[in-house]
Amino acid sequence: MNKTQLIDKVAEKMGSSKTDAKVAVEAFLESITETLEERDPVQIVGFGTFRTSERQARKGRNPQTGEEIQIPATTVATFSVGKDLKEKLKSSSEDKGAVTRSASAAPAVKGKKPAEKKKGSSKK
């Protein structure tokens, strides 16, 4: 879904004009952007949290030349899915018959090592 489609959907849900929906969507996005620019998180309970994260400077490589380059530090926006949204997505994927792990695929057991071979008991 792109921004225009979102505006159309909001207009439909609000029962208002696309112009009013466009104003609402743009105000919403602008508010989130301004808050993130101030490095403050935006938490929408049940939906998720937008926050900023600092990425440290690091070394990388130019994929065309292989030359080592310095990638500068930067600030990025991140989004963490809220509990309610996560549950809705989980239940909707189960309703659609999404691929799930089969019963035969047992989860790994933490703390157990694979059985070791006994020394000196190899067959020749």
- Cβ pair 41, 78 in contact under 8 A: no
Tokens of 92: 């909707």
**Strand, coil or helix: what is 76?**
strand
How confident is the model over 31-82, as pLDDT tens digits?
A: 999 999 999 999 999 999 999 999 999 999 999 999 999 999 999 999 999 9
Structural domains of the chain, ranges and CATH numbers in brackets = 3-83 (4.10.520.10)
Q: What is the per-residue pLDDT across 8-30, written as a single tens digit (0 to 9) for each? A: 999 999 999 999 999 999 999 99
Model pLDDT, residue 94: 80
Q: In whole angstroms, give the CA distance from residue 116 to residue 37.
A: 55
